[in-house]
Amino acid sequence: MNPYVTGSTIKNLREKRNITQETLGEEIGVSGKTVSKWETGKGLPDISLLEPLAKSLGISLIELLSGDSIENKNPSSNLYRSKFYVCPICGNTIHSMGEIVASCCGITLPPLEAEDPDEDHAFEIERVEDESFIKIHHDMTKEHFISFFAYVTPDQFILKKLYPEGNAEGRFPLRKTGYLYAYCNRHGLMKQKILGINPKSK
Ligand SMILES: [Fe+2]
């Protein structure tokens, strides 16, 4: 996380609001020239100005300091908007129902971008009774391993934590259509759509 607000953050947020440096300055009691100095890195706003500045830019103080604006209007509306954050230092995993400003070990974590699994991370899915057995044939060493599986439907979220020296496998009730996720500590987040299983059909 940035220790303090940056010029580029102020500039981006001001431009998003579509107001001039003068207007922003007027709103918080400084000149447009002062705002220009902040934006070009020739000065920093006094700490007493941070709250009015965040208010004028239409974001919270924490968003201003982190340099991210949170655009979720209704983050709990749908688990399909799930975001995952993994700390590269300690491995902590954070799941959120929408984008958040997440930090761990003193750094801001970006929301992970999920990709289609490549052949080294392909899901093997086998139906076992009314559950599905998920497996990835992958290294499980401390240096390179799958650290979790997650199964997400619009109203359900299941996380299976995996550990080095274990197996990259787990059982999930994949009855509803949803998304299966896997996270490799080296290759990142993989995501695959899974069509629901009708328990009555074979
Ligand atoms: Fe991998």
> DSSP states of 63-95 as a string?
HHHHT-----SSTTS-GGG-EEEE-TTT--EEE
Distance CA 132, CA 128 (A): 5
Cα–ligand 1 centroid distance for 186 (angstroms): 5
Cα–ligand 1 centroid distance for 119 (angstroms): 10
**Tokens of residue 36, six digits:** 């220009």
Q: Note if the pTM is more than 0.75.
A: no
Give pLDDT tens digits for 126-166: 988 778 899 999 999 999 999 999 999 888 899 999 999 99
Cα–ligand 1 centroid distance for 76 (angstroms): 31
Distance CA 94, CA 57 (A): 28
Cα–ligand 1 centroid distance for 117 (angstroms): 10
Cα–ligand 1 centroid distance for 121 (angstroms): 6
**Confidence at residue 70, expressed as pLDDT on a 0 to 100 scale:** 54
Beta strands in the chain (DSSP E): 83-86, 93-96, 102-104, 107-109, 124-128, 131-135, 146-153, 156-161, 169-172, 178-184, 188-194
Cα–ligand 1 centroid distance for 120 (angstroms): 7
Classify residue 165 as left (phi > 0), alpha (psi -120 to 50) or beta: left
What residue ranges of the chain have pLDDT lower than 50?
A: 1, 72-73, 75, 201-202
* 8 A C-beta contact, residue 194 and residue 125: yes
Give pLDDT tens digits for 15-29: 999 999 999 999 999
* 8 A C-beta contact, residue 161 and residue 146: no
**Confidence at residue 112, expressed as pLDDT on a 0 to 100 scale:** 92
Cα–ligand 1 centroid distance for 1 (angstroms): 27
Cα–ligand 1 centroid distance for 147 (angstroms): 10
Distance CA 62, CA 102 (A): 11
> Which strands, in side-by-side order, build the sheet including 131-135?
124-128, 131-135, 169-172
**Confidence at residue 69, expressed as pLDDT on a 0 to 100 scale:** 55
Look at residues 76, 73, 70 and name the one whose alpha carbon lies nearest to residue 57: 70
Residue 186 is classified by DSSP as T
Distance CA 84, CA 150 (A): 10
Cα–ligand 1 centroid distance for 81 (angstroms): 24
Helix, strand, coil abundance in the chain, percent, nearest 5: 25, 30, 45
